Amino acid sequence: MDKPKKRHWKIRLHEIIYEADTSGGKIFDIILLVTIIASIILVMLESVKSFDAKYHNFLNISEWIITILFSLEYIARIITVKKPFKYVTSFYGIIDLLSTIPKYISLVFGGIHALAALRALRLLRVFRILKLVRYLGASNTLLKALRSSRVKISVFLFTVVIIAIILGTIMYLIEGEEAGFTSIPTSVYWCIVTLTTVGYGDISPVTPLGQFIASIVMILGYGIIAVPTGIVSAEYATQSKANKIIEEDVQLNSQSCSNCLSEKHKDGADFCYNCGEKLH
Amino acid sequence: MDKPKKRHWKIRLHEIIYEADTSGGKIFDIILLVTIIASIILVMLESVKSFDAKYHNFLNISEWIITILFSLEYIARIITVKKPFKYVTSFYGIIDLLSTIPKYISLVFGGIHALAALRALRLLRVFRILKLVRYLGASNTLLKALRSSRVKISVFLFTVVIIAIILGTIMYLIEGEEAGFTSIPTSVYWCIVTLTTVGYGDISPVTPLGQFIASIVMILGYGIIAVPTGIVSAEYATQSKANKIIEEDVQLNSQSCSNCLSEKHKDGADFCYNCGEKLH
Amino acid sequence: MDKPKKRHWKIRLHEIIYEADTSGGKIFDIILLVTIIASIILVMLESVKSFDAKYHNFLNISEWIITILFSLEYIARIITVKKPFKYVTSFYGIIDLLSTIPKYISLVFGGIHALAALRALRLLRVFRILKLVRYLGASNTLLKALRSSRVKISVFLFTVVIIAIILGTIMYLIEGEEAGFTSIPTSVYWCIVTLTTVGYGDISPVTPLGQFIASIVMILGYGIIAVPTGIVSAEYATQSKANKIIEEDVQLNSQSCSNCLSEKHKDGADFCYNCGEKLH
Amino acid sequence: MDKPKKRHWKIRLHEIIYEADTSGGKIFDIILLVTIIASIILVMLESVKSFDAKYHNFLNISEWIITILFSLEYIARIITVKKPFKYVTSFYGIIDLLSTIPKYISLVFGGIHALAALRALRLLRVFRILKLVRYLGASNTLLKALRSSRVKISVFLFTVVIIAIILGTIMYLIEGEEAGFTSIPTSVYWCIVTLTTVGYGDISPVTPLGQFIASIVMILGYGIIAVPTGIVSAEYATQSKANKIIEEDVQLNSQSCSNCLSEKHKDGADFCYNCGEKLH
């Protein structure tokens, strides 16, 4: 009699952690979101020297609280999933682990500065918030439009890089070292800065010929921005029309299979479309 | 016999102040617009040290004239509305009050500099000019397109912020303090400056690896600008088609109910759709 | 017998100067274009101190040649038009005159520097090249799309200016004089520089709060660029469809009436649609 | 019996070098691509002083290996084509030759720095990678959209240049030399930097009037970017629809005629559509 009860407890926890449909699941997701944002703000504040000097203890204790919360969440996720190994080796599983260990490592090796690199990875945890975005956009026209124009945008970006290399080399030969065009890679960097209309101004042409070519680069960059925009606009419009027909037929929910973690089950589905496991 | 006459006077003033259809209302709106623009220019000129030193008296007197005009308008608005409390607590009511009081406060406390903060709020009064825009755009496709793509644009902006946080942290670790990347918040600020193609140049990468990642950030920013543009374009086109059908049926006017202040009444409507008050 | 011959000569000259259909007219337009571009390059080179010092005589003589050519063209235009007064007082007539006189004035008053302002007006002559553009775009969808979205783009630009004023004032209060935000007009200028993603970097926020608000301004500017693009895209698409029907029916030519200068006559038209004058 | 065998060997090599359909052809293209990218990276690294000082020998040997590989490829291309003269004088033929000779010239004249100009041309070889893009985009809507909006975009860019000249001259007269507006060409350069929203900040207005006009230039530049985007969006959408019909009918492959080098043959075609040569 003990076993089914325990299983029931696991199923409920699985629902709370992995699904967003029940009220418990929603509250868990919101708390997780707030904790992640708090952890990011903590890492940010720690990097501000003047703030760290003043509130070092507060930051340290807060870090420990969040580390423990993240550790508990990590353990709970492993327990409630049927195939823990699959979770541990998944993208989110690795990020979850990497988000918790830096503080433990700092305990052994002291506050080595190089560990900050590992801490930065904790920020990747924010992507899990995107899981919500994924639900929101289950039948999202935007994602479909981006996917169908992926090849075209890649070709476009590749062309931009080639133009940057050629024009960057030309500018290196024209402007020379005095104007800051110290090497071809630096010139290519300048060319990308200009083509994308960012324009830092740390490197800028000084010779008349250099300024003339720079003007061409700018107008080129100003003009070719129309290309990705045009692609996405048209694809999005096409997807919008196509979606209206599809959306009326299929309704997906935010449930996640407790066996294989696959998502986007149809409303009213009783078994996982991927592994055949019963859905709760 | 006195009361109906007085009521008639109030109704006429209400028409002038709150409506833009009669010639009196139009003249009032234009004068109000000119006064608001003049008051903004005055605040601007006052902030220019050299100008203020020369023409201090002129600026002071002009300020008083505008303050008195605004006070009279505020009183007139309260008198002519049936439910003055509703107006006083409304968004425009609060702005109207806050636009007038700074000068009176300066009388008591002297020209304290901190009051400039309150004066800045007077600029929000310009939004009332947008009321005209609202009339102009009663059946505005643009507003509808923006409203229907609000969620998608929010998701997009949220993604931009996440990218800025992750890439900003990476740049902080790569570039370090010498290049101006003094803390993670500063690096994130730099990343937003670069992603949005603003590119001040107050902070810019100096290491080859930093410049390489910066190039990726720029091309990313250059590419993803296509996303909101594509959304708005497609939504706007959809709304344009939908509107053509609707616009032929309904005609809204710029009348405003003297009781509940609700607007956008149908042409020829005799009673307010919101509270049932007779429209004049 | 002499009079009709003289009239014939005038008509032929009118054809050459005012029309672009005959081979003579085309040659004249090309020569005029080259001369205008040469005159602009001359004014540009004159402004380069080092170049002017070296080749002053060459520049001076070239200026005189172009001034005489422009004078002859101006006189020819007056002679061949039936109503010279109308040409002289027209937009192009005034520009044509202003493009020629600065050199004559410099003869009397010496090379006064203030005359450079008048010389700059010569550059407006380039707009006459746009006459070609006008022919090219007689049934231009682009111009129609811009015209029909004029009001919407104006409202959009007006909103941008209001946002710039409000956010500029807030930044003035936050950043203060040390960061370069010396007055409200300067702050509004900074805000426009940022909103439009130009980002000079001559003024940039230094306080954390200022950088935070600046980030919002940037993301705002990055997002709202989608609005005019969306409008023009949709309007252009609409005009494209509408035009296909119209274009099949009407064919306009580049003839210009010798009496009233009106253009865009239908192919095969024998009389001016505006004044009834016979077309040649 | 020897001749047909030899011919067979040539045909196979032609297939490998000029076509991308066979597995041999694909491997050749990938190796070529990697070699070109390696050669570009080599030229880039050579331009970095500190790197060149350290690894001069490694760079020199690598350069020789790539030069020999490119030479062999060039010879193979000449042998396998039926009309070698046509290849040698073609765009890619000239680039292929120019990509190989700089190293040989440096052998005779020593490492003269001026040869770097010729080396830069090697980068143009990257365009051959675009041949792949061409295959990928045989029936590419994007290229068609760009081609059909070419005239409109040219007119647009021409207008941008005229606006830059006029506003640049006005800014030169207003700002003068102190702010960096040293000559009209420099001012026009500044105006293009601003209009295209690049905004280096090397030159920026300091007078109130100059900043006011600069603001107008920025808002203008911010607004008119909608024009090319709108054109490409609409044209792309039109081409997308048109293509769906065409694409169903015609299938093009990546074969190239061994006689006249013409490409884009229909699937199943046995003879070249251009010269009638039998296709293998």
D-chain CB neighbours of C148 within 8 Å are: none
Q: CA-CA distance, D38 to A96, in Å (whole number)?
A: 38
Assess contact for D49 and A183: CB atoms under 8 A.
yes
**Residue A7: predicted pLDDT:** 59
Q: CA-CA distance, D221 to D212, in Å (whole number)?
A: 14
For residue A17, which amino acid is it?
I
Percent of chain C with pLDDT over 70: 69
In this complex, how many residue pairs, one in chain A and one in chain B, have their CB atoms less than 8 Å apart? 130
**Residue A142: predicted pLDDT:** 66
C-chain CB neighbours of A198 within 8 Å are: 199
CA dist D157 → A163, A219, D162, D227 (Å): 18, 7, 9, 10
D-chain CB neighbours of A151 within 8 Å are: 136
C-chain CB neighbours of A201 within 8 Å are: 200-201
A107, A32, A100: which is closest to A68 by C-alpha? A100
B252, B251, B250: which is closest to B264 by C-alpha? B252
Partner residue facing D199 (CB), from C123, C161, C199: C199
Residue with tokens 């609005």: C227
Q: Fold identical between B3-131 and B138-249?
A: no
In this complex, how many residue pairs, one in chain A and one in chain C, have their CB atoms less than 8 Å apart? 9
Assess contact for A143 and A137: CB atoms under 8 A.
yes
ipTM (interface pTM): 0.75
Query: In which element (H, E) is residue A52 found?
Result: helix A49-54
Assess contact for A267 and A251: CB atoms under 8 A.
yes
Per-residue tokens: D12: 């196979």
Partner residue facing C233 (CB), from A199, A201, A233: A233
**DSSP one-letter string for chain D:** -HHHHHHHHHHHHHHHHH-SSSHHHHHHHHHHHHHHHHHHHHHHHHHSHHHHHHSHHHHHHHHHHHHHHHHHHHHHHHHHSS-HHHHHTSHHHHHHHHHHHHHHHHHHH-S-GGGHHHHHHGGGGHHHHHHHHHHHTTT-HHHHHHHHTHHHHHHHHHHHHHHHHHHHHHHHHHH-TTTT--SHHHHHHHHHHHHTT----SS---SHHHHHHHHHHHHHHHHHTHHHHHHHHHHHHHHHHHHHHHHHH--B---B-TTT--B-PBTT--B-TTT-PBP-
Positive or negative CA dihedral for A236, A242, A247, A250?
A: negative
Question: In 10 A of CB D36, how many CB atoms?
Answer: 20
A-chain CB neighbours of B198 within 8 Å are: 198
Per-residue tokens: A60: 């340290």
**Residues present in chain C in total:** 280
Which residues, listed in sequence order, are joined to residue A256 by a DSSP beta bridge? Answer: A263
pLDDT by 10-residue block (mean), chain B, 280 residues? 59 75 76 80 83 88 88 88 84 76 72 49 54 48 72 75 83 83 89 90 88 91 82 77 52 56 56 62
Percent of chain C with pLDDT over 90: 7
CATH 1.10.287.70 for the B138-249 domain, yes or no: yes
Partner residue facing D120 (CB), from A173, A197, A233: A173
Measured in angstroms, the CA of D274 and the nearest CA of chain A are apart by 29
Assess contact for A157 and B216: CB atoms under 8 A.
no
pLDDT exceeds cutoff 50 at C101: yes
Assess contact for C257 and C279: CB atoms under 8 A.
yes
Q: CA-CA distance, D264 to D269, in Å (whole number)?
A: 10
User: So where are chain C's domains?
Assistant: 3-131, 138-249
C-chain CB neighbours of D158 within 8 Å are: 133
**Residue A215: predicted pLDDT:** 92
Q: Residue A222 and residue D195: Cβ atoms within 8 Å? A: yes
Q: Residue A201 and residue C197: Cβ atoms within 8 Å? A: no
Q: CA-CA distance, D173 to D210, in Å (whole number)?
A: 10
**Residue B113: predicted pLDDT:** 47
Q: Residue B197 and residue C201: Cβ atoms within 8 Å? A: no
Q: CA-CA distance, D76 to B213, in Å (whole number)?
A: 39
Partner residue facing C231 (CB), from B129, B161, B236: B236
Residues 6 or more apart whose Cβ sits within 8 Å of residue A67: A100, A103, A104
A175, A169, A214: which is closest to D47 by C-alpha? A169
Q: Residue D193 and residue A218: Cβ atoms within 8 Å? A: yes
- Which chain C residue shows the shortest CA-CA distance from D173? C117
Partner residue facing C237 (CB), from D198, D214, D234: D234
Kindly give the confidence (pLDDT) of every residue in chain A, 280 residues in length, as a single tens digit, with 9 standing for 90 and above: 445 555 577 788 887 777 666 777 778 877 877 887 788 788 888 888 888 889 989 988 988 898 899 889 889 888 888 888 888 887 777 777 877 777 777 777 655 444 454 555 555 555 555 554 444 443 466 667 777 777 777 777 777 887 888 888 888 888 877 888 888 889 889 999 999 988 888 888 988 899 999 999 998 888 788 888 887 887 777 776 665 544 444 444 555 666 666 555 555 556 665 666 666 5
D-chain CB neighbours of B240 within 8 Å are: none
In this complex, how many residue pairs, one in chain C and one in chain D, have their CB atoms less than 8 Å apart? 131
Assess contact for C156 and C227: CB atoms under 8 A.
yes
Assess contact for B14 and B81: CB atoms under 8 A.
yes
Partner residue facing C218 (CB), from B43, B186, B196: B196
C-chain CB neighbours of A233 within 8 Å are: 233
pLDDT single digits (tens) C218-273: 988 887 888 888 888 877 777 766 655 444 444 445 556 666 665 555 555 566 65
Residues 6 or more apart whose Cβ sits within 8 Å of residue D80: D10, D13, D14, D17, D18, D258
pTM comes to 0.78
More confident residue, D29 or C138: D29
Per-residue tokens: A254: 């935010």
**Residue B139: predicted pLDDT:** 43
Residue with tokens 């300067």: C186
Assess contact for A149 and A231: CB atoms under 8 A.
yes
Q: Residue A232 and residue B237: Cβ atoms within 8 Å? A: no
Q: Which residues of chain D have pLDDT under 50?
A: 1-2, 112-115, 117, 132-139, 245-252
Contacting partners of chain A (3+ CB pairs under 8 A) = B, C, D
Q: CA-CA distance, D82 to C187, in Å (whole number)?
A: 69
CA dist A239 → A146, C230, D252 (Å): 10, 17, 26
Measured in angstroms, the CA of A229 and the nearest CA of chain B are apart by 4
- Which chain C residue shows the shortest CA-CA distance from B240? C234
Substitution target from D196, D204, D218, D229 for chain B, most B beta carbons within 10 A = D229
B-chain CB neighbours of D197 within 8 Å are: 197
Q: Residue B222 and residue A160: Cβ atoms within 8 Å? A: yes
Q: Which residues of B46-75 are buried (b: 16+ CB within 10 A; e: fewer)?
A: bbbeebeeeeeeebeebbeebbebbbebbe
Q: CA-CA distance, B184 to B176, in Å (whole number)?
A: 10
**Residue B142: predicted pLDDT:** 67
**Residue A115: predicted pLDDT:** 47
Backbone angles phi, psi at D256, to 5 degrees: -130, 135
Q: What band does C153 get if pLDDT is binned at 50, 70 and 90?
A: confident
pLDDT average, residue stretch C64-79: 88
Q: CA-CA distance, C11 to C5, in Å (whole number)?
A: 10
Partner residue facing A201 (CB), from C197, C201, C233: C201
pLDDT single digits (tens) D3-61: 555 557 778 888 777 766 677 777 887 787 788 778 878 888 888 888 888 998 998 89
D-chain CB neighbours of A218 within 8 Å are: 192-193, 196, 198
Kindly state the DSSP code that residue C277 receives in the 8-state scheme.
P
- Can you identify the CATH homologous superfamily of domain D3-131? Voltage-gated potassium channels. Chain C (1.20.120.350)
Per-residue tokens: C30: 């090309």
pLDDT exceeds cutoff 60 at C115: no
Measured in angstroms, the CA of D96 and the nearest CA of chain B are apart by 29
